[in-house]
Each structure stands twice: as C-alpha cells, then as structure tokens.
Amino acid sequence: MVNSINERIRILFSKSGEKSIRQYAIKIGVAPTTLNECIKGAEPKYTLLNRIISGEPSISSKWLLTGEGDMETELPRISYSTGRPYYNVDFIGGFDLVMNDQTYAPEYNIDFAPYNKDGVVWCNITGRSMEPEINSGDIIALKEVRQWNEFIAIDEVYAIVTKNDLRTVKRIKKGSTEGKYLLVPTNPNFSPQEIDKKMIDRVYAVLGCMKRF
C-alpha cells in the first residue's frame, strides 16, 4: 500500500506521460500551483481530488483516497444490457435528438462503473476550445442539472444549451454581475465569453470523457 495520498498523486503524474506538472494540471483542470504544492507535500484540496477523479476515470477513487485496492478500475466496455446509453450524436450539433425525440434510440450502452448512474448519457463532442482537458472526438458523460438556476458549482465544466439553440462546453465562473456567468475555455487560443443567465435553457454536468471506442 502507498501510504501517502501525496505519493499516490505523484505516481499518477509520473504515469500520465505529461512532461511537466503544469501540463498534467491543465489536463485534469486545476491550477498548476495547486498541483505543485500537493506534490511537494501540502494537504490536497478537495477540488484537486475531485478533478483527478473526474479527469482520470480509469483510476480507482478508493485507491486514490485511501490507498486500498488496485490503482486502476475496470475499463469501460460496450454493453447492450448494463451501463448507460451512448447516443451517436454530437452535443454541439445534434444533441437535440436526444433531448426532444423520445423515439431516438441509443447505439449501445457504455458500461463504466464510475458513471453508471441514473440520468447519465454519453454522446460525442467536437471543437477544440477545451483541449487538452476534453479533446475533439471524445465521448462525454452528461447528466442534466435540473435546478441549475438555483445553485450551480462554480469552476466546474458544464455542457450548456442556450435559448437560441446554441451549445457549448465550458468551465463556468462568476460573471461581472450577479446575472451573468463567464464561460471559460481550457485552450488558451480561445477567449472567455460572458453570458446572461436568462439566455441559458439547459445545463448538463460533464462528469467525464474518454476516447471513442
């Protein structure tokens, strides 16, 4: 057993293939200083642990948090009886088929324990604004946030549908005023954009992503 959670995080970084702490931090969606402090021995923050669990779905959360069991969980697999439905549509281009057409059938299920939860669906994602955190062509696991206008966790990644039928995946941060959100891309080549909360129709939490089968 690897006794220190800091040591386990160092192991994940070393196995990630990333050349620097900064690159690995960007991959999992945390500030490089937060990850660097933890690797040096500081107590890991909840946000860091949550991002690792979300960004490394093949890593066992039990192993990460307690050191017990195997480091890697069972890999995702295609199934027709268990798991959650995968719709072969793109969130940005065709997700309205899933939202509005109850006759539209999933292509198959993706059986992957961390995301086998009620309400979760899988679909495709295109666009490079969230790279390298989420890459164009990945499959993303989504779950609708029913009462997002009453409470939404800031600094998390969401898939957003606007009232004029635009779709985007971004990290939500506080806007310049109470009635606005700032939609922030991971890719520095794209600019943040502020949006009025009244323009948002639906919000989906992005629980995780993986390469396409």
Dist CA 137 CA 126 (whole Å): 5
Residues 24 and 128 occupy one common structural domain: no
- Whole-number pLDDT of residue 11: 92
Residue at 72 is within a domain = no
Using an 8 Å Cβ cutoff, are 139 and 210 in contact?
yes
Q: Which residues of the chain have pLDDT under 50?
A: none
Work out the burial of residue 180: count CB atoms within 10 Å of its CB; fewer than 13 is exposed, 13-18 middle, 19 or more buried.
middle
Domain count within the chain: 2
Residues 17 and 122 occupy one common structural domain: no
The secondary structure element, H or E, covering residue 47 is: helix 46-55
Give SS3 for 102: coil
Residues 52 and 102 occupy one common structural domain: no
- Whole-number pLDDT of residue 193: 96
- Whole-number pLDDT of residue 199: 96
Structural domain boundaries, residue 19: 5-66
- Which among 25, 40, 66 is the end of a domain? 66
- Whole-number pLDDT of residue 171: 94
Question: 163 is written with which tokens?
Answer: 């009232």
- Whole-number pLDDT of residue 127: 93
Dist CA 55 CA 48 (whole Å): 10
